[in-house]
Amino acid sequence: MLYFLCDNTFEGLLTCIFDAFYRKQFPSKIVSESAQIPLFSETFEVVTDTAKAERVLTGLKKLVSKSALEMLYICSLSEDADIETHIFNYIRKTFEEGRSMELNFADADVLTLSKMYRKVLREEERIRQFVRFQKTADGIFFAAMEPKYNVLRLCTGHFQERFADQQWIIYDVKRRFGLHYNLKKVTEITFDDPDNLLASGKLLPSQMDMDEEHFQMLWKHYFKSAAIKERTNLKLQRQFMPKRFWKYLIEKQ
Q: Tell me the pLDDT band of 38, cut-offs 50, 70 and 90.
A: confident
Please answer whether residues 91 and 63 qualify as being in contact, where contact means their C-beta atoms are separated by less than 8 angstroms: no
pLDDT at 69 over 70: yes
Cβ burial of 224 (10 Å; 0-12, 13-18, 19+) is exposed
Q: At 193, is the pLDDT very low, low, confident or very high (cuts 50, 70, 90)?
A: confident
Whether 72 shows a pLDDT value over 90: the answer reads yes
Q: What is the mean pLDDT of the chain?
A: 91
**H-run or E-run covering 170:** strand 168-172
* Coil, strand or helix at 53: helix
- In this prediction the pTM is 0.89
CB atoms within 10 A of CB 61: 12
Angstrom CA distances, 236 to 130, 148, 239, 245, 252, stand at 16, 20, 5, 15, 15
pLDDT in tens, 75-84: 999 999 899 9
SS3 60: helix
